[in-house]
């Protein structure tokens, strides 16, 4: 997930002129003459670019370096369709590993997305996701699989086995005695690593928080919703109102946006930094920014709403503790978002729920367009509320906020607009402060999935970004970087763009690593405790819930496999059993195919190895999404990590 924005330390207000004529009323300023919903007209996608050394993504048409196995922008795999032999052979050998060169693994972080080519139109297909609660209802997630979290409040309580059910975790499938393949295809040296059982893990005292000294906690807040609903504008406006974007910067965005005939996107430009995003008027990669509320250091994850960029949305929003779902109140726009075919309001709500997020703020945005009508708000609340309940959100965990990002109504203060005086609830900022932090997994060893890597060639520094899913890290900690298997030292840490000494489970940080090369740290990898390496494999057993699909899943079906920030081409090599959705009991062994809404146990082989844990041991590293042709076709959890196939 390319991380492209950092509003942590940009206060260059000296020398700035006060622009008294600054005009935030862009309502008349829409510029849709060339675009529908902010999407550029269809451009004929070519499979391969004429430029040598690059391949053109068939979905977004970005020219990727030949060595990239997945599109750098929209995440679509280059060669997802791998030939299967007609016996439905289970071997992984059919995969052709498309190895990137070390140079291309340099940085998934602040690499420029500024020269991307125009994208093709969307595919117009909808996705119907089922959510974690439904997984539970369908017997996919039993209540016993929930990660035990009650023992994080004291270092003396040192038995931390709980998450893996009752069976002791032995890590017998870890890569401790094998040679690890690198993405460059070269075998790494054999790692003779002693792995410990998690049951023996005792967190050190500094690893558990001390509420007196720790200050505000971080809240990872995903901003999701249908394309063009105003997510980036809302995010940019909040950052500006809370002083994270200076007046000078804001004026610059406004001026440049107007010059390009995109005046209404000035606030969105704070988040949409690349030339292509600005030209197309859509977010393509997740924007990350920070602000401080009364209660939290908020990490804003501004997701793309366009369906071509769902893989990026998954990678960003998978870190969310809570979410803001932005809907467009305008007539027809809300309806498009909630539409069963192609509506991203629906898709994002379902995805967010399946990430385990249960607290959601619904911002009914663009209320200015509907004259701040209470009737319109009520209709939206009623229709969307019914849908959210069907996704498993509880009424008590949903907050409804009518707002206008454009006219600054109900964002950081109660509305000044008389037509909104009927609303007596909290402002958006107050609503954010009313969210509760999920429990954090302090009692287990460090696991930090890497969402971005930034390499500064001039200074020879390698920095990994991501959210700690469990454990803690501090300056000077020795860490193991997987899947390369290299031990490095955390030279420095940053949280909320400020240097810090310690980061713990739940914190979204950048870790500056020492003693490791840039090509040994990859997005989709995991930073872990040296004695408790994450498992690495290309073969997994999954419990899946098939979504609304029209083509059955059969043995040999080719899929895109998504797990935390990693994605790989995958193939179904075994369909072991069908499960009763209510009891989870096996109803049929070895069925020939899987149909919509069926629950099943399957085995998949991946094109390349991924870092993974069983869901019962670490939810964030054991939750998978299977996609095909731009649609999510199944949700699942990892039930067994099978020894890696060579």
Q: Which residues contact ligand GTP by CB under 6 A?
A: 26-27, 30, 38, 225, 227-233, 264-265, 268, 282-283, 304-306, 365-366, 368-369, 404-406
> What is the nearest approach in angstroms of ligand GTP to the Cβ of residue 496?
23
Contacts of range 149-155, beta carbons closer than 8 Å, 24 or more positions apart: 149/439, 149/440, 149/441, 149/443, 150/439, 151/443, 152/208, 152/439, 152/440, 152/441, 152/442, 152/443, 152/505, 153/208, 154/208, 155/202, 155/203, 155/204, 155/205, 155/207, 155/208
Rg of the chain over all Cα atoms, to the nearest angstrom: 24
Cβ nearer to ligand GTP, comparing 160 with 283: 283
> What is the nearest approach in angstroms of ligand GTP to the Cβ of residue 103?
31
By a kind-dependent CB cut-off of 5 to 8 A, residue 365 interacts, out of Mg ion, ligand GTP, none, with: ligand GTP
Q: Counting contacts by CB under 5 A, is residue 229 touching Mg ion?
A: no
By a kind-dependent CB cut-off of 5 to 8 A, residue 405 interacts, out of Mg ion, ligand GTP, none, with: ligand GTP
> What is the nearest approach in angstroms of Mg ion to the Cβ of residue 272?
6
Cβ nearer to ligand GTP, comparing 270 with 450: 270
Q: Counting contacts by CB under 5 A, is residue 231 touching Mg ion?
A: yes
Residues 6+ apart with CB under 8 A from 87: none
Half-sphere exposure of 43 (CA within 13 A, CB side): 19
Residues 6+ apart with CB under 8 A from 314: 351, 562, 625
Q: What is the 3-state secondary structure (H, E, C) of 386-415?
A: HHHHHHCCCHHHEEEEECECCCCECCCCCC
By a kind-dependent CB cut-off of 5 to 8 A, residue 480 interacts, out of Mg ion, ligand GTP, none, with: none
Report whether 570 contacts 558 (CB < 8 A): yes
> What is the nearest approach in angstroms of Mg ion to the Cβ of residue 266?
13
Q: What is the 3-state secondary structure (H, E, C) of 595-641?
A: CCCCEEEEEEEEEEEEEECCCCCCCCCCEEEEEECCEEEEEEEEEEE
Cβ nearer to ligand GTP, comparing 120 with 614: 120
> What is the nearest approach in angstroms of Mg ion to the Cβ of residue 128?
23
> What is the nearest approach in angstroms of ligand GTP to the Cβ of residue 354?
20
Half-sphere exposure of 26 (CA within 13 A, CB side): 24
CA-CA distance, 163 to 389, in Å (whole number)?
A: 28
Stretch that binds Mg ion, among 31-39, 281-289, 377-385, 488-496 (CB under 5 A): 281-289
Stretch that binds Mg ion, among 12-20, 276-284, 540-548, 615-623 (CB under 5 A): 276-284
Q: Counting contacts by CB under 5 A, is residue 408 touching Mg ion?
A: no
Angle at 440 between CA 438 and CA 441, to 5 degrees: 145
> What is the nearest approach in angstroms of Mg ion to the Cβ of residue 231?
5
By a kind-dependent CB cut-off of 5 to 8 A, residue 7 interacts, out of Mg ion, ligand GTP, none, with: none
- Residue nearest to ligand GTP as judged by C-beta position: 305
- Give the tokens for residue 202: 């005792």
Strands (E) located in 360-507: 360-365, 398-402, 447-449, 452-456, 461-467, 472-474, 478-482, 486-495, 498-500, 502-504
Give CA separation, 158 vs 151, 154, 197, in Å.
8, 8, 13
Q: Counting contacts by CB under 5 A, is residue 122 touching Mg ion?
A: no
CA-CA distance, 10 to 226, in Å (whole number)?
A: 29
By a kind-dependent CB cut-off of 5 to 8 A, residue 19 interacts, out of ligand GTP, Mg ion, none, with: none
> What is the nearest approach in angstroms of Mg ion to the Cβ of residue 267?
10
Cβ nearer to ligand GTP, comparing 282 with 511: 282
Q: Counting contacts by CB under 5 A, is residue 283 touching Mg ion?
A: yes
> What is the nearest approach in angstroms of ligand GTP to the Cβ of residue 331?
13
Cβ nearer to Mg ion, comparing 133 with 303: 303
> What is the nearest approach in angstroms of ligand GTP to the Cβ of residue 242?
17
By a kind-dependent CB cut-off of 5 to 8 A, residue 484 interacts, out of ligand GTP, Mg ion, none, with: none
Stretch that binds Mg ion, among 121-129, 148-156, 282-290, 638-646 (CB under 5 A): 282-290
By a kind-dependent CB cut-off of 5 to 8 A, residue 93 interacts, out of Mg ion, ligand GTP, none, with: none
CA 485 to chain centre: 24
Cβ nearer to ligand GTP, comparing 237 with 529: 237
Cβ nearer to Mg ion, comparing 278 with 529: 278
CA-CA distance, 108 to 521, in Å (whole number)?
A: 10
Q: Counting contacts by CB under 5 A, is residue 232 touching Mg ion?
A: yes
> What is the nearest approach in angstroms of ligand GTP to the Cβ of residue 552?
32
> What is the nearest approach in angstroms of Mg ion to the Cβ of residue 229?
9
> What is the nearest approach in angstroms of Mg ion to the Cβ of residue 342?
17
> What is the nearest approach in angstroms of Mg ion to the Cβ of residue 63?
23
Cβ nearer to ligand GTP, comparing 410 with 519: 410
Angle at 170 between CA 164 and CA 172, to 5 degrees: 120
CA-CA distance, 428 to 419, in Å (whole number)?
A: 18
By a kind-dependent CB cut-off of 5 to 8 A, residue 100 interacts, out of ligand GTP, Mg ion, none, with: none
CA-CA distance, 455 to 348, in Å (whole number)?
A: 32
Strands (E) located in 191-321: 217-224, 287-292, 296-302
Stretch that binds Mg ion, among 36-44, 71-79, 114-122, 231-239 (CB under 5 A): 231-239
Number of residues that bind Mg ion (CB under 5 A): 3
Cβ nearer to ligand GTP, comparing 73 with 540: 73
CA-based diameter of the chain, in Å?
Answer: 72
Cβ nearer to ligand GTP, comparing 203 with 342: 342
Cβ nearer to ligand GTP, comparing 411 with 509: 411
Cβ nearer to ligand GTP, comparing 266 with 579: 266
Report whether 384 contacts 326 (CB < 8 A): no
Stretch that binds Mg ion, among 166-174, 279-287, 331-339, 531-539 (CB under 5 A): 279-287
Residues 6+ apart with CB under 8 A from 72: 2, 62, 64, 65, 108, 111, 113
* Contacting Mg ion within 550-579 (CB under 5 A): none
Cβ nearer to ligand GTP, comparing 367 with 612: 367
CA-CA distance, 218 to 321, in Å (whole number)?
A: 9
CA-CA distance, 613 to 151, in Å (whole number)?
A: 20
Q: Counting contacts by CB under 5 A, is residue 312 touching Mg ion?
A: no
Q: Is the peptide bond before 278 cis (omega within 30 degrees of 0)?
A: no
Residues facing 292 on adjacent strands: 297
Contact positions vs Mg ion (CB under 5 A): 231-232, 283
């Amino acid at each position: 997930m390319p991380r492209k924005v950092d509003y942590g330390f940009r206060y260059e207000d000296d020398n700035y002129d006060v622009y008294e004529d600054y005009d935030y009323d862009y309502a008349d300023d829409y510029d849709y003459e060339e675009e529908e919903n902010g999407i550029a007209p269809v451009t004929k996608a070519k499979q391969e670019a004429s430029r040598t050394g690059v391949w053109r993504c068939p979905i977004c048409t970005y020219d990727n370096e030949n060595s990239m196995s997945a599109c750098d922008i929209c995440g679509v795999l280059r060669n997802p369709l791998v030939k299967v032999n007609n016996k439905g052979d289970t071997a992984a050998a059919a995969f052709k590993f498309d190895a990137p060169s070390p140079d291309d693994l340099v940085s998934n972080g602040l690499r420029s997305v500024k020269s991307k080519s125009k994208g093709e139109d969307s595919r117009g297909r909808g996705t119907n996701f089922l959510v974690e609660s439904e997984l539970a209802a369908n017997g996919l997630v039993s209540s016993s699989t929930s990660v035990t979290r009650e023992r994080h409040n004291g270092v003396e309580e040192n038995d931390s086995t709980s998450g893996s059910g009752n069976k002791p975790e032995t890590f017998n499938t870890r890569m401790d005695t094998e040679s690890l393949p690198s993405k460059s295809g070269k075998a790494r040296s054999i790692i003779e690593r002693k792995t410990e059982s998690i049951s023996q893990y005792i967190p050190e005292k500094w690893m558990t928080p001390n509420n007196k000294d720790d200050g505000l906690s971080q809240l990872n807040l995903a901003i999701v919703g249908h394309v063009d609903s105003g997510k980036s504008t809302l995010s940019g406006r909040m950052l500006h109102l809370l002083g994270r974007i200076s007046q000078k910067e804001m004026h610059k965005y406004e001026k440049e946006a107007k010059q390009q005939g995109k005046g209404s996107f000035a606030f969105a430009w704070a988040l949409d930094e690349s030339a292509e995003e600005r030209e197309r008027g859509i977010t393509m990669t997740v924007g990350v920014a920070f602000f401080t509320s009364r209660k939290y250091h908020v990490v804003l994850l501004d997701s793309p709403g366009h369906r071509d960029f769902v893989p990026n949305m998954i990678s960003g929003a998978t870190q969310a503790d809570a979410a803001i779902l932005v809907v467009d109140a305008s007539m027809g726009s809300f309806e498009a978002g909630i539409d069963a075919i192609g509506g991203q309001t629906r898709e994002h709500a379902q995805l967010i729920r399946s990430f385990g997020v249960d607290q959601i703020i619904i911002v009914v945005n663009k209320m200015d367009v509907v004259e701040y009508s209470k009737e319109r708000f009520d209709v939206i609340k009623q229709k969307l509320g019914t849908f959210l309940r069907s996704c498993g959100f509880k009424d008590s965990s949903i907050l409804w906020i009518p707002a206008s990002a454009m006219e600054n109504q109900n964002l950081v203060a109660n509305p000044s607009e008389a037509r909104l005086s009927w609303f007596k609830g909290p402002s958006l900022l107050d609503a954010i402060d009313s969210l509760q932090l999920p429990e954090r997994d302090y009692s287990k060893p460090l696991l930090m999935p890497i969402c971005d890597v930034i390499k500064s060639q001039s200074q020879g520094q390698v920095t990994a970004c991501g959210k700690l899913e469990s454990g803690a890290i501090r300056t000077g900690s020795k860490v193991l970087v997987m899947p390369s298997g290299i031990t490095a030292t955390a030279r420095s840490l940053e949280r909320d763009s400020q240097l810090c000494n310690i980061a713990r489970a739940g914190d979204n940080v950048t870790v500056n690593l020492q003693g490791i090369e840039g090509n040994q740290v990859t997005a989709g990898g995991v930073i872990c405790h040296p004695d408790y390496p994450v498992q690495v494999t290309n073969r997994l057993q999954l419990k899946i819930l098939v979504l609304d699909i029209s083509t059955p899943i059969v043995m040999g079906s080719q899929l895109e496999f998504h797990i935390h920030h990693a994605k790989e081409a995958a193939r179904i090599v075994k369909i072991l059993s069908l499960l009763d959705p209510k009891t989870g009991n096996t109803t049929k062994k070895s069925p020939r195919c899987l149909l919509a809404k069926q629950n099943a146990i399957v085995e998949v082989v991946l094109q390349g190895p991924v870092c993974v844990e069983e869901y019962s041991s670490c939810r964030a590293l054991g939750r998978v999404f299977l996609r095909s042709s731009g649609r999510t076709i199944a949700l699942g959890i990892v039930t067994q990590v099978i020894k890696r196939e060579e």
